[in-house]
Structure 1
Amino acid sequence: MISFTSTQLTAWLATLIYPLARILALIASSPLLGNRQVPARVKIGLAFVLTLVIAPTLPAAPLPDPASARGLFVLGQQIVAGLMMGFSIRLIFSAIEMAGDIAGMQMGLGFANFFDPTNATFTPIIAQFLGILVALSFVALDLHLTMLAALADSFQAFPIGDSPLAAGAFLTVAEWGGSLFAFALQLSLPLIAALLATNLALGILTRSAPQLNIFAVGFPITLAVGFGALALVVPYIAPLLNHAFQQALETVGRFMLQLGGF
């Protein structure tokens, strides 16, 4: 007959609950896996499977009772670590959608909005197009598998424990977010430059021929130039996404090391 004590049961639960909290927080805040279209059962099931795979590889260490005050503190740490990892990667998607938003407004498509069920809001059509393109590139480049590998490595950089969180780690994530919004502006600059030149040419044309209906002629020309510039930019999105994602993983690695006090 198999018998075990309450202390052993608590230790077994602790080895599963703490990694599960970090993994669930990452899945909930990460792109694609954290979308509302993904059922909650799928998210929980995937997190549980990943926990069963990762938990045996963690270093053996005494863990506090999850029901104690110390255990709740450790549980909160794991949730914060997972949320910051997913948030750092989701910022890439937000930056590229921001670039599409800027480009769409310059093209005159600021009024063309579609309902985005993921964020429960209305999104400009160019931003939604780039968001779908980035999501497909994210899967095609196997970056979702790289994200899960970084999750497994995070338990080595920031092992489960009750050490206090370092405030400098959150500054690293904030700086990463600031650089990404600059990246979004740089991504939209080719379209902005092309449309600026088009608008200047249309302005000169209007001054030289006042009888010309600028609204009937300018809008189709602006759209054509905008879509042409967008077609030239699209092939470079996948390499830029891969580069940005590698930088995101480096940021996550530094964040985890700083959380661990290194």
Structure 2
Amino acid sequence: MISVTIDQLYAWINLFIWPFARIAAMVGSAPLLSESAIPARVKVGLSVMLTLIVAPTLGPMPSLSTASWSALWILGQQILIGLALGLTMRIIFAAVQTAGEFVGLQMGLAFASFFDPATGSNTAVLARILNTVALLTFLTMNGHLLMIGGLVRTFEVLPITITELDVNGWGVLMEWSRQIVVSGLLLALPVMVVLLTINLSLGILNRTAQQLSVFAVGFPISLTVGLTILTVVLPQISPFLERLFQEGYDTMGQLIQALAGQ
């Protein structure tokens, strides 16, 4: 007769539930994988499948009761790690959407917004377009596979233990979050410079020819010039996005090393 002790049962449950918490938290917060268009069952199924693949390769787990406070503390840590990894890549797409907001504001399209189910708020049209371009570039680079591969390697650098996470890791995430504004401005800078020049020219024209209505002429000119510049700039942003994605992968590694106290 096969007999299973309670300690063995706890070990089997912990071997699955702790890695599952880290993986599911990243799947639920990472770009592309966390899109609202993907059913929740697919996300859970992907997390379970990855856990079943990764769990047998992990080292020995802490011998704790699954319902103990120490085990719940480890579970909470794994959720925080997964969320931090997902947010690291999510910041890149937030920077792209910020660039779309800046460009749309300069073009006079601040009012052109619609409800975005992915964020649960109104999003500018240009921000949504740039976000779609970034997602397609992300897929072209197999970024989702590289992101999952980086997640799996985190179990080697930061194994599941009862020790506390180093607070310096959260500092790495906070420092990386500045890319939302910095990279967003760099991405939108070519269009913003041209549109700013157009606005300055229209201001001078309004002072010299006051009978000309700048409000009637300025909006069509800004919109036409902005769309023309976008047709030139959009095909050229792939190298910028590729570099930004690579920096995101590197930041994921730095985040895990900092959380591990290395």
TM-score normalised by structure 2 residue count: 0.95
Distance 1:174 1:219, change over 3 A: same
Return the offset for 1:217: 1.9
Return the offset for 1:245: 1.5
Between 192-201 and 78-87, the greater mean CA deviation after superposition: 192-201
Deviations 1:143-200 (A, max 9, x none): 0000000000110111000111111110010000013421111111111100011112
**2:164 maps to which residue?**
164
**One-letter amino acid of the counterpart of residue 114, structure 1:** F
Return the offset for 1:220: 1.1
**1:255 maps to which residue?**
255
The 5 A counterparts of 1:218-229 are 218-229=218-229
**1:131 maps to which residue?**
131
Does 2:64 correspond to 1:40? no
- C-alpha separation in 2, matches of 1:219 and 1:65: 66
The 5 A counterparts of 1:165-184 are 165-184=165-184
**One-letter amino acid of the counterpart of residue 222, structure 1:** S
**1:192 maps to which residue?**
192
Between 172-181 and 57-66, the greater mean CA deviation after superposition: 57-66
Between 216-225 and 235-244, the greater mean CA deviation after superposition: 235-244
- C-alpha separation in 2, matches of 1:37 and 1:2: 45
Determine if contact 2:91/2:179 at 8 Å carries over to the other structure. Answer: no
- C-alpha separation in 2, matches of 1:4 and 1:162: 25
Deviations 1:45-77 (A, max 9, x none): 100000011111212344422211110111111
Return the offset for 1:79: 0.4
**2:142 maps to which residue?**
142
TM-score normalised by structure 1 residue count: 0.95
**2:55 maps to which residue?**
55
The 5 A counterparts of 1:221-240 are 221-240=221-240
**One-letter amino acid of the counterpart of residue 142, structure 1:** N
Deviations 1:6-64 (A, max 9, x none): 22121111111100000010011111211222221111110000001111121234442
- C-alpha separation in 1, matches of 2:230 and 2:50: 39
- C-alpha separation in 1, matches of 2:171 and 2:106: 33
Does 2:205 correspond to 1:205? yes
Q: Give 3-state SS (helix, strand or coil) of 1:114's partner.
A: strand
Distance 1:135 1:63, change over 3 A: farther
Determine if contact 1:26/1:83 at 8 Å carries over to the other structure. Answer: yes
- C-alpha separation in 2, matches of 1:80 and 1:246: 23
State, as a whole percentage, how many aligned pairs show the same letter: 44
Determine if contact 1:134/1:237 at 8 Å carries over to the other structure. Answer: no
Unaligned runs of 5+ in 1: none
- C-alpha separation in 2, matches of 1:71 and 1:137: 40
Determine if contact 2:95/2:179 at 8 Å carries over to the other structure. Answer: no
Determine if contact 1:20/1:48 at 8 Å carries over to the other structure. Answer: yes
- C-alpha separation in 1, matches of 2:55 and 2:181: 36
Does 2:120 correspond to 1:120? yes
**One-letter amino acid of the counterpart of residue 258, structure 1:** A
- C-alpha separation in 1, matches of 2:203 and 2:69: 68
**1:22 maps to which residue?**
22
Q: Give 3-state SS (helix, strand or coil) of 2:105's partner.
A: helix
- C-alpha separation in 2, matches of 1:49 and 1:129: 32
**1:65 maps to which residue?**
65
Q: Alignment length, in residue pairs?
A: 262
Return the offset for 1:205: 2.4
Unaligned runs of 5+ in 2: none
RMSD: 1.4
**One-letter amino acid of the counterpart of residue 100, structure 2:** G
Determine if contact 1:150/1:249 at 8 Å carries over to the other structure. Answer: yes
- C-alpha separation in 2, matches of 1:173 and 1:93: 15
Determine if contact 2:98/2:127 at 8 Å carries over to the other structure. Answer: yes
